[in-house]
Chain A
Amino acid sequence: MSQPTDKRRRTFLAGAAGATVATVAPGMVLQSIATAKPRDTAVTDKARYGMLIDTTKCADGCNDCVTACEKENGLDLLSKPEGASDEQWDMQRPRWIRTVGLRNNLTGRVTRLPMMCQHCEKPPCVDVCPTGASFQRADGLALVDRHTCIGCRYCMMACPYNARSFIHESIEIKSTAVPRGKGCVESCTLCVHRLDQGGTTTACQDACPHNAIVFGDLNDPNSEVSKAMAKQPTVQIRDDLNLNTGVRYTDV
C-alpha cells in the first residue's frame, strides 16, 4: 500500500463520513476525521480502543449488556452438552461479559459492574501464549487467533480478570461474523467485526438502557470516551498490576 493512495482515501472518507470542519479564524481550520477504517486497510496504532463504564448508572439486576453480547457474538447459539450437569454448564459456558459485584470490606458498599476483557496495553495473556495465538492488534485489542490456538489455556490462567472462556464442545450452529471452534480460547473482542466494517459502537454499549457504557478511541481527545474520562475520576481494576487497561470504570 503506497502512502499517497492512503492519504487520498482518508481525505475521501473524511468527506464521506461527514467530518466536521470548523473555521476558528482566517487561515485556521479545525478538522476531525472519523476514526472508522475502510474494510481494505490495515489497522494502525493511531487509535486505541477502550471503554468507560459508569458504575453509578449500572442498575442492580440489569443484564442487558450480557444478553446483547451473547446475541451479537453467537454465544446464545451454544447449548448445554449432552450429559453435562447444570452446575458444570454454568461453570464452563463461555461468557464474554459477566456482571460482578465488588464489596468494600471496610464499609460493606457493593458496586455492580460488567467485567470483560480489559484490553490491557501489556496483556498477560499475550505474554504467556506459547504459540502467538493470543496477540495484540495495532489498535490495542487483545484477541485470539484461533487458527493457531492450541487450547492450552495458559492465557486463562494468566488473565487477572477471568475474562477468557474455553470452548469445550463441537459447534453445531456457526455464525458467519463470529466463528468459534472446539478447543480454542476466546474473549471479548470489543465487537471487532463491527469496527472492521466501519462500526463505531459495541453491542453492549448499544444495549445499555442507562448509557453506562461509552466506547471509543482513547487516543482521540475529541472522542466521547476521552471526553467522559477527562470529566470524572476513573479507575482501572487491579491497577496495581500496571497493565494500563483499555476498559476503565468510574466510582469503584
Chain B
Amino acid sequence: MRVKLSLLLTICLGLPLGPGSVHASEEGVEGTAKADKLDACVAPTPFMRRNHFELILHQRDVTVHQGIRKTDNSLSGCVDCHVRKDAAGNHVAIDAPGEFCAACHEYTGATLDCFTCHATTPAGN
C-alpha cells in the first residue's frame, strides 16, 4: 500500500521521493549542443577522435605560459560547444555519465582528469 501511495505521489505531483533529483543528474537532450548543428569540430571528426588531447594539451601550455587564449583548441571552447542541455534548458555537466566527454572515456576506461579543476558547464558549475 505504501509503495502504491508513493508511486501515486510521484506520478501526480512529479515529486521524486528518493535523493539525486538535482539538475546534474538530468540527462542531456539530443541536439541541444552547439556542436550538433555543425558538420565538424575544429578539425575533421576522425582526427579529433584520435588526437583531441594533443590539441588540448598544446593549448594548455601556450595558455598558461604564453597567455594565448584563443578558444578554438581550448578546453572551455570544447565545453561551450559540446555541452548539452536538459529538458528544462539547463546545461548538463559534460563529464556526467553518458554526456559528451564521459561517454567515450567511460567506455574506453581512460580516466578524465580535466574536470577535477575545470568547469563542466560554460558558466562554471
Q: Do A and B bind each other?
A: yes
State the A residues within 8 Å of B (CB): 37, 39-43, 74, 135, 137-139, 143, 145-147, 170-176, 179-182, 184, 192-193, 195-197
Q: Is B34 an interface residue, CB under 8 A from the partner?
A: no
| Structural contact, A42 and B67, CB atoms closer than 8 A | yes
Stretch at the interface among B14-22, B97-105, B117-125: B117-125
Number of A-B contacts (CB under 8 A): 66
Q: Is B68 an interface residue (CB 8 A)?
A: yes
Pick 9 A–B contacts, CB within 8 A, sort by A.
Answer: A42-B67, A173-B124, A176-B76, A176-B79, A181-B117, A182-B116, A184-B117, A195-B67, A196-B68
Min C-beta distance of B21 to chain A, whole Å: 18
Interface contact B68-A180, CB-CB below 8 Å:
no
Listed stretches B2-10, B44-52, B57-65; interface member: B57-65
**CB–CB A170/B116 < 8 A:** yes
B residues contacting A by CB (< 8 A) are 60-70, 76, 79, 115-120, 122-125
Is the CB–CB distance between A37 and B67 below 8 Å?
yes
A2 to B117, CA, bound (A): 35
Provide the residues of chain B in CB contact with A197, threshold 8 Å: 69
Residues of A within 8 A of B122 (CB): 176
CA distance A40 to B123 in the complex (A): 22
In the complex, A208 Cα to B52 Cα: how many Å? 43
Given A43-B66, A171-B116, A180-B117, 13 other A-B contacts at CB below 8 A?
Answer: A39-B70, A40-B68, A74-B124, A137-B66, A137-B67, A173-B125, A174-B119, A174-B124, A176-B76, A176-B123, A181-B116, A193-B69, A195-B67
